[in-house]
Amino acid sequence: MIRTCAVRALAVILLTVVPGSFSALPARELTPAMKTAISWVDQDKAAYKDVATYIWENPELSLVEFKSSARLQQYLAANGFRIEKGVAGMPTAFVATWGSGKPVVGIMGEFDALPSLSQQKGIATQKPIIQGAPGHGCGHNLFGTASATAAIAMAKAMEKHGIAGTVKLFGTPAEETLVGKVYMNRDGVFDGTDVMITWHPMDVNGVDYASSLAMDNLKFRFHGKASHAAVAPEAGRSALDAVELMDVGANFMREHVPPEARIHYIISKGGEAPNVVPPSAEVWYFIRAPRRAQVDQIRGWLIDISKGAALMTQTKSEYQILTAVYEYLPNRALARMGDEVVKLVGAPAFTPEDQKFGQTVLSVMGKKSEGEPFSTGVKTPDFTRTFPDVPNSKASTDVNFTWRFPTVQFFAATVVKGTPLHSWMAVCQTGTDPAMKAALQVSKYMAAAGLEVLTDPALVKDAWAELQQNVTRFGYEDPVPREVKVPTFKDLYGIEPGAVPGAGK
């Protein structure tokens, strides 16, 4: 997403602890069902790699991921999942379901790419495949595929071992623009889920126990009156003047907001020619802060600034909310269980050839690695801390559902240590064998965790109690009003999809 991936990635401050310090698995070993799921993942790795490679080779931007979404649906349907297409008003969003009844485990699957990051894989020099085309700089070709593989592995184990319940793979588009899950959550697509499981490509292996920045994504538009800028400027009213005055006001406001807040913008429309007084103009803002309430306060102030700018220029103003998100809410009960699972399953097994490639990438970035470039260890968060006193990233993600459903999130070392996501350096790695191995390993983490949820009612009870305690303390109200429609590709990017190489329909 515009930032999103880096979000969760940079979010984690991790500390090594003694394995099993917070054991959630009574036997401290993989159950027979978990072993079945893990074995199936290994047996299916050729099909998994085929899907992940296809999505990497066909990168698509938010809301137009038609090929990627269809390929994941085919993979799931071929393994017995029922598919519901086009949910929450987004053609590429889907729900794949196996089983019936309670408990219900939901697994998130993302698949959108990033603009202008086209890059050949396995080559540690910048070399686009198609200039200006998208690329998987956040590893979502791995994300959706690994999640689908985990869901299928769970189903195989549930069937063999007679485990009751339902597993759902939520195909969530437009994560890079913070849209997909926001509207799926708001419109009830996730309702009835007992526990959510997700993951994200990163440079470490482990479970997440951190937060992120809440965010608003909105555009302000001003409407004035055109006129000849030389002959009759007095007859015009400049919408661009209003945008510039608003930006000045916002910049003065920065001194008086929480120091952790981030306010950034671009002038997305400023006029057509200098000798015409611009009758319309647009400015696009992101507002971020550690807490949702802080973002709400800043947004209210920014709206007032826009009204003031309109008064000063005798123009009219309006704003459009594209999306809005809460900070990520970690769940300690589930994270402890996830930590135990990761340690039991183990880190990815990278070869010397993998590490040699990783060293080449590090050299290009001008970095040196302490130890092997691709992480072969497992890290554990500091579970002595409780929300909101947990590490907080400087980015945002669209997982508002963490405030409605207990959630556990995993990481896997799909890129070498220190790789900046959302860069060509990430794209050159996300289609390679080391990345595939790491993502396949996280399929095992998720499948094992999902099976633990299905068979441990006490764990689910504890996770919900923790969630409800946080919601009672901090409150939750959907940040996107019901009347706000799902944004279109043009709403987000200001152009039609066909104007971008490889952007889809």
Residue 283, phi then psi, degrees to nearest 5: -130, 140
Residue 410's nearest CA partner among 250, 269, 200 is 200
Q: Is residue 362 part of a domain?
A: yes
Work out how many domains the chain is built from and give that number.
2
Listed residues 284, 307, 324: the one ending a domain: 324
Structure tokens at 238: 């400049």
Q: Is residue 497 part of a domain?
A: no
Helix, coil or strand: residue 302: helix
Q: At what angle do helices 140-161 and 45-57 cross, to 10 degrees?
A: 150
Residue 288's nearest CA partner among 86, 3, 499, 16 is 3
Q: Which residues contact 311 (CB under 8 A, 6 or more apart)?
A: none
Q: Is residue 503 part of a domain?
A: no
Tokens 């994560």 belong to residue: 175
For residue range 82-92, list pLDDT tens digits in order.
Answer: 999 999 999 99
Pairwise CA distance, residues 255 & 401, whole Å: 32
447 in the same domain as 392:
yes
Q: Is residue 393 part of a domain?
A: yes
203 in the same domain as 55:
yes
CATH code for the domain in which residue 280 is found: 3.30.70.360
Pairwise CA distance, residues 151 & 171, whole Å: 12
405 in the same domain as 387:
yes
Pairwise CA distance, residues 221 & 316, whole Å: 8
337 in the same domain as 196:
yes
158 in the same domain as 131:
yes
319 in the same domain as 333:
no
Do 127 and 52 contact (CB within 8 A), yes or no? no
Domain range for 345 is: 4-17+29-212+327-474
The continuous run of DSSP H or E covering 109 comes out as: strand 104-110
Do 144 and 72 contact (CB within 8 A), yes or no? yes
Indicate the pTM of the whole model: 0.92
376 in the same domain as 237:
no
126 in the same domain as 192:
yes
Neighbours of 120 (CB within 10 A): 16
45 in the same domain as 187:
yes
pLDDT, position 503: 59
Which amino acid does the sequence have at 410? F
pLDDT, position 502: 60
Which region, left, alpha or beta, applies to residue 174 given φ > 0 means left and ψ of -120 to 50 means alpha?
left
Residue 388: asked if its preceding bond is cis (omega within 30°), the reply is yes
Do 479 and 297 contact (CB within 8 A), yes or no? no
Pairwise CA distance, residues 412 & 200, whole Å: 7
Q: Is residue 483 part of a domain?
A: no
436 in the same domain as 342:
yes
Pairwise CA distance, residues 124 & 198, whole Å: 29
Low-confidence ranges of the chain (pLDDT < 50): 1-27, 504-505
